[in-house]
Amino acid sequence: MDKTVFRNSFERKQSLERRLLGVQKKLARGSSYLINFEFKLRKQLDEVHREEELLWFQKSRMEAICDGDRNTRHFHLSTIIRHKHNRIEALKDDLGNWVWNEGDVKRLVMDYFESIFSGPVTNICLDGVVTGSFPELPMAETEKLDMNYTVTEVQFALNQMSP
């Protein structure tokens, strides 16, 4: 970072602030001819503030590039902790026994979802459902819903989903 650029910007800012303060004091005493001059000084001061902000941003980026991101370790550790917290390490089976083996946990999950989504639909609670309020599907559409699906169809449907 060029120190002279930063120093010049800092000195320019101080000079503008002093001049603006002097103009505002004269305006407070009733000198209205300085209103346009005050406006120009404010505009220049705003520009200096933008330059100063840019300089500080550039300096912080330069330090991050030179020194590396010092928060990397923090973010890495927080990710590991979150991963461990979200990980399912054990589940209870139908008998109430804890299943710890990773392969057995996967099998337990697969069996559970297969039991939910396969076989005939039973034990559906229709309490509160108003009959006749939904249009009935034609028999051809109902038969399509009962058809088996292919791996290609599943992959196609999954690829259409947003990430």
Q: What is the pLDDT of residues 31-75, one digit of tens each?
A: 667 788 888 888 988 888 888 888 877 776 666 556 555 666 767
Question: So what's the pLDDT on residue 7?
Answer: 62
Q: Is 51 exposed, middle or buried (0-12, 13-18, 19+ CB in 10 A)?
A: middle
> What gap in Å lies between CA 50 and CA 142, rounded to an integer?
66
pLDDT of 104 over the 90 cut: yes
b (16+ CB within 10 A) / e for 82-106: eeeeeeeeeeeeeeeeebeeeeebe
Q: Indicate the average pLDDT of the chain.
A: 79
Question: So what's the pLDDT on residue 1?
Answer: 47
Same domain assignment for residues 120 and 146: yes
Can you list the positions of beta strands (E) in 9-140? 91-92, 98-99
Of 47, 55, 38, 39, residue with least CA distance to 12? 47
Position 157: which residue type?
A
> What gap in Å lies between CA 132 and CA 113, rounded to an integer?
31
Residue where a domain terminates, one of 55, 82, 109:
82
Number of domains the chain contains: 2
Same domain assignment for residues 68 and 8: yes
Same domain assignment for residues 68 and 99: no
Question: So what's the pLDDT on residue 70?
Answer: 60
Same domain assignment for residues 72 and 96: no
Q: Which domain holds residue 106?
A: 88-160
Same domain assignment for residues 22 and 64: yes
